[in-house]
Chain A
């Protein structure tokens, strides 16, 4: 079953408004997000930077529908995630959101090819083969498709993860430090691909990174501190 989002032509692919997320209770409570507001323009490559523990991952998870928030609003397109049930959020993730984790992105028992189309197969949808072929070719994975994750290098595994994130043509792709476990050359190649995907294929991409060099690949950079966005650079260029 597909969760149909009203296909409104909008410039904003996703929006977090005054989001608060509190972990724990009482004395030990942590305000991981403390009034964070961030809008993600469609078709662009946004980087999120900030010190460790400032709440970047938490915001990613909230915007991707992996987690709920305590206050504020999160929208994907025009859909308010706060109004969705757990099951609806799952279906939304499956059909409209791609996610790349820092590591451990793949199901070990499935081949690379199967991992790439996993969200589609889960939905019982047929893959758009031309599109898959295009991504695979761009990521240089052509000769690795039949291998299982354990037989792939770390960089190859991350590329497979990126391919999977894009396979269902989601509205938005979130990547939480996708180059964190890669060497700089491999990392740069992946960043180059993400920028390419945004610019040439119109894919909306949000990426968390610690690395200023990595952030330089993005169109705009949101700066994060103490659970809120303290500034966005790069918007003025447009």
Chain B
């Protein structure tokens, strides 16, 4: 039996090749995603472990929360006497004060601005310090610095070179050494400057204070007990944590981001596999149809239905195994490429040796074999149902290629109608995103069922323009309409991919447009100063605001700060504003209460936040701050949602309140209103001059500020679209495959056409026409679905964020054009093959 299956599979390898390729690509995608995320997690783990390897305990200022959801809060520095108190605890072998902060490195008049942090640390030799010297010596004296070897190489900074390190103060320092981190030359997208402790304190304006104390336990001391002892000695104002915990928390926070990338990648891989599954089911069903006669002979010769079914499933198993094996290999090979792709779209992942776990192999094989076998199940059942008498009948591919069944059509109609109803409910108002998801699934399944029934009509309608191409065009149309099940499955696979692409495009554009609109309506400032980097809290040094506000060309300057606070289990963001100057650079609409009331220590909520939390003016809101713990803030006003969106969060407090509850002192934005009688360009130049000592600060007009806000969406949008292209590619292979198989089936007919005088060119046109027609069907269904559900999503989101639907006409037209062109390409190979058929052999085949 197995021998027969293997022989069959090998004999039909040509027909199964594209199926194999589809599964292979899907599996490669899954494998690549897993390998990439595993690798990134391992590297981050290593990174955090290395950072704290030689230290047992870390003493820091106490904070109500820290490092949750990737939020790193700044803590108060520690006074010098803490070190002595720690040293006095029995069991402590060494207590080392450590200073850490942000410090930009400048070389040759230019400041290096990495995408990630620019670290400034006090130098400590191993085991306390995580950095090891690669060249030169440690920075022991004044005026000396060690930088990471990666930065040194990238910017050609050699030993003995002069660099500027700019933190709270700037100093010119000489590079006396180059350091590495663990086995690497540095940290990804990060610059590191290591200086002697006093220099670090001076640069960061800490006076005699430290950031933390690194504690090494005496040999044989129980670290947990020591931790309690140190904690008891210092009191509740300080937090003592084991270094392993600190590393774990840091790694966990970084992993949250990696795992959301993983979810996204795997979801896209699932989409690719789903399209692959369509293609597999379609291929097997065509192959079974073409083998009806052979299967019937087998049945007549005494094979049971179960044996026939097993033989088809066995073939699927072989294809699945081969594809999984090759796909896993390809996936591992492509993981690095995927990392580069993520990098292109602004997602930096650590670089290092790939991690391939047994789980990755297991998942790849289960998914690859599973998808193939499950997809082949339907065709296998149909194969088993072939009656022995079919052997005698003149098998008409027509009737087996599948007219739509009654039950199927009814079920499809009902499901599609339900989906449409769900979508309308969401569009009309009350529905939620959950309803929308259900509607989407219902519609897709419904259309898959309904496909064969509506395809002939649709194809003839869409194919009408093909009529001008004469007989070849007409034949192309008829051929597509003749096997509706096949055509609809092929088109639907592509439609699914196109729907995802257009959904992403429409949704992304709508969100971006809404952001732009609400920003433009709310912010009336002429310019805004923001950091060029996407720091979580903005990252503008406080002095920027002071310099800018003192300029004679500036009428008003007003600044925003962001902060994190804890709300039960989740971390939320808030915006701190100056209630006096803000109204002069914005046009805010209060729904209730007054904005200037925040000066009294209250909070203004976005209207939808208030509704969600069931709060009104006069109520209080409990907010947990990292530095001051739980605070009860009176609600003093409600802000229109769109305006809150322009201020980035749904919670607004005053800068004074912020000052009391936060240690952070970086600004997110400084809004600038140009003074009367000063030209915009002059003012901009003046502001830029004032920013000379803040290299990350940028002066932006409205458009640039909006672009900065939307940069993140653009990145995700770009990455998702690029990866969705794989799904579209697999679907296009489906077109090629279906056509190639249908050419095998129609060999006799094609030979006849050639015999009565159809030229090779005409025949190529015919096949390509059919391919384009299938693509057109997919475009209509896919782009239509994508837009419809993006509209639904925007409507559902709109209730929270006032988003409105914006159709990106250009990109959508591009999707349509690319899909049509790709359809043409997909038909090239089958068309060549059809035109190359030998007339006589073709006729003899029938």
Contact = CB atoms under 8 A, between A and B. Distances in A.
Contacts of B356: none
A45 interface: no
A132 to B, nearest CB: 15
Interface string B651-668: 000000000000000000
Interface string A108-128: 111000000011011110000
A95 interface: yes
Contacts of A104: 748, 752, 843, 846
Contacts of A61: 840
A108 B749 contact: yes
Contact of B757 (A95, A109, A150): A95
B482 interface: yes
Interface string B390-404: 000000101000000
Nearest to B397: A108
A67 interface: yes
A159 interface: no
B471 A121 contact: yes
B756 interface: yes
B322 interface: no
A121 B475 contact: no
A66 B752 contact: no
Nearest to A106: B752
B484 to A, nearest CB: 13
A91 B396 CA distance: 31
A56 interface: no
Given A124-B470, A150-B398, A101 B843 contact: yes
Contacts of A66: 755, 839-840
Nearest to B749: A107
Interface string A70-100: 0000000000000000110011011100010
Contacts of A164: 756
A24 B749 CA distance: 26
Nearest to B758: A122
Nearest to B748: A104
A113 to B, nearest CB: 13
A90 B754 contact: yes
A150 B749 CA distance: 13
Nearest to B477: A109
A105 interface: yes
A119 B757 contact: yes
A105 B755 CA distance: 10
Nearest to A94: B757
Contact of B759 (A87, A101, A105, A106): A87
A86 B470 CA distance: 22
Given A66-B839, A90-B759, A91-B759, A121 B470 contact: yes
Contacts of B755: 66, 93, 99, 101
Interface in B508-524: none
A116 to B, nearest CB: 11
B715 interface: no
B753 interface: yes
Interface string A182-220: 000000000000000000000000000000000000000
Given A66-B755, A104-B748, A107-B475, A86 B760 contact: yes
Contacts of A122: 470-471, 753, 756-759, 762
Given A109-B475, A150-B398, A90 B760 contact: yes
Interface of chain B: mostly helix, strand, loop or mixed: helix
| A66, A87, A106, A150 pick with most chain B CB within 10 angstroms | A66
| B479, B756, B839 pick with most chain A CB within 10 angstroms | B756
A90 B758 CA distance: 7
B27 to A, nearest CB: 38
B168 interface: no
B840 A67 contact: yes
Contacts of B189: none
Nearest to A103: B846
B620 to A, nearest CB: 76
Contact of B756 (A99, A124, A150): A99
B478 interface: yes
A108 B398 contact: yes
B799 to A, nearest CB: 51
A105 B470 contact: no
B650 to A, nearest CB: 62
Contacts of A95: 757
A213 to B, nearest CB: 26
Nearest to B482: A109
A93 B396 CA distance: 29
Given A66-B755, A122-B757, A150 B839 contact: no
B475 A110 contact: yes
B398 A118 contact: no
Contacts of B762: 122
Nearest to B762: A122
Interface string B741-774: 0000000110011111111101000000000000
Contacts of A150: 396, 398
B756 A109 contact: no
A104 B755 CA distance: 12
Nearest to A109: B478
B752 A105 contact: yes
| A61, A109, A150 pick with most chain B CB within 10 angstroms | A109
B69 to A, nearest CB: 61
Interface in B816-846: 839-840, 843, 846
Contacts of A110: 475, 478
Contacts of A90: 754, 757-760
A91 B759 CA distance: 7
A87 B478 CA distance: 25
Contacts of B479: 109
A27 to B, nearest CB: 22
| A67, A87, A93 pick with most chain B CB within 10 angstroms | A93
Contact of B752 (A86, A87, A107): A107
B148 to A, nearest CB: 69
A36 B482 CA distance: 44
Contacts of B756: 93-94, 99, 118-119, 122, 164
Contacts of A106: 752
A118 to B, nearest CB: 6
A118 B757 CA distance: 9
Contact of A123 (B482, B752, B757, B846): B757
A102 B118 CA distance: 84
Contacts of B760: 86-87, 90
A51 to B, nearest CB: 20
Nearest to B480: A109
Contacts of A94: 756-759
A99 B843 CA distance: 12
A102 to B, nearest CB: 10
Contacts of A124: 470
A166 B482 CA distance: 28
Interface in B450-473: 470-471
B833 to A, nearest CB: 16
Contacts of B753: 107, 118, 122
Contacts of B470: 121-122, 124
B752 A91 contact: no
Interface of A: 61, 66-67, 86-87, 90-91, 93-95, 99, 101, 103-110, 118-119, 121-124, 150, 164
27 contacts: A66-B839, A66-B840, A86-B760, A90-B760, A93-B756, A94-B759, A101-B752, A101-B843, A104-B748, A104-B752, A104-B843, A104-B846, A106-B752, A107-B749, A107-B752, A107-B753, A108-B749, A109-B475, A109-B479, A118-B471, A118-B753, A118-B756, A122-B758, A122-B759, A122-B762, A150-B398, A164-B756
Given A93-B757, A109-B475, A122-B759, 18 more contacts: A61-B840, A67-B839, A67-B840, A87-B760, A90-B754, A90-B757, A90-B759, A90-B760, A93-B755, A94-B757, A95-B757, A104-B846, A105-B752, A107-B753, A110-B478, A118-B753, A122-B756, A122-B757
Across the A-B interface, the 5 shortest Cβ-Cβ residue pairs:
A94-B757, A109-B478, A104-B846, A121-B471, A119-B757
